[in-house]
Amino acid sequence: MEVARGLEGVLFTESRMCFIDGEAGRLYYYGIPIQELAEKSTFEETTFLLLHGRLPKREELEAFKRELAVRRALPPHLLDSFRRYPTSAHPMSFLRTAVSELGMLDPTEADISREALYQKGLDLIAKFATIVAANKRLKEGKEPIPPREDLSHAANFLYMANGVEPSPEQERLMDAALILHAEHGFNASTFTAIAAFSTETDLYSAITAAVASLKGPRHGGANEAVMKMIREIGTPERAREWVQEKLSKKERIMGMGHRVYKAFDPRAGVLEKLARLVAETHGHSTEYQILKIVEEEAGKVLNPRGIYPNVDFYSGVVYSDLGFGLEFFTPIFAVARISGWVGHILEYKELDNRLLRPDAKYIGELDRPYVPLEARG
């Protein structure tokens, strides 16, 4: 049997949720192009789509928004725990631990019936934003801000994180960013969630595993690396020389290239427009200029090899403008991707929830003798 390194090209299930055409640079949620959702939809509506497989009617959407809004508040016990978490902890470690603790606080944790999973999923989707915002406030030496039920998911997240109600433009920026990150097929964290849930563990455990997977710099942490790259370059004037030096050493350009896409990542195209808006409106032109020069210079060598900007390339500039520091970029990713994780778990359970148990090609020796300790030298 041939070994599929990194499980590349291996089909282990069927799904209607997400289709990625890597050669043409296209992404669809339940058949709807991502560009249309990012331009016309909201995070709540897109989440309904991911959980139900269709867009909601007006009254369904209003009811769904209310369902999420009333679930935003955290248990007092959990907030007390937050104050005992080390302030030096990475926000993804904070989120991972908080999700695990939420499970312990749920007396119905072990119930994995379809309806129970759906209700717990709504709870986690609503609370992820509250957890991340509370962590940001505590890191700044401030008290967490209780959620508001009269704001959208994106606006409430920004309000809890920054202490002021966002402008309509800021709300729209966050909404679009969350939609773009909500789902992306069987990436590492989604596969991890499915692998864990296939054992019939509880939802909190499966999502905790997904958060742990997303924390890795080769997955969710890549957008942090892009902003570090911008800081290392420093000025637009230095960008071309920096890229040439990196490429001459055959080093990676962060935010360029994707395992699936051999064309421009469609999410990066939307985020580039948002980053341009941020640069033109709010004066963050230096970061944007550096990224455009890096994209152009690196593209001369990388584009012919099918390597283009991915979703992480421009997202950091948008998050920075919305008031978030570097270490909160990946948690924002999680605030969005929780919808995709829950949607895939619901779908996989309905299919058959077959236990995932891959194999490995054995390349070691057989029938080796046991050498007594005293004879091993």
**Catalytic site residues?**
219, 258, 312
Q: State the DSSP string of 161-177.
A: HHSSPPPHHHHHHHHHH
Contacts of 240 (CB under 8 A, 6+ apart): 293, 297
194: tokens are 């499915």
For residues 196 and 205, what is the distance between their CA atoms, to the nearest angstrom?
Answer: 7
Residue 137 near residue 161, CB atoms below 8 Å: yes
Encoded tokens for 310: 């991915």
Contacts of 123 (CB under 8 A, 6+ apart): 71, 102
**Radius of gyration of the chain from Cα atoms?**
22
CB 46 within 8 A of CB 33: no
Question: Terminus-to-terminus CA distance in the chain, angstroms?
Answer: 39
* Burial call 290-307: b when 16+ CB within 10 Å, e when fewer: bbbbbbebbbeebbeeeb
The span from the CA of 315 to the CA of 178, in Å, is 10
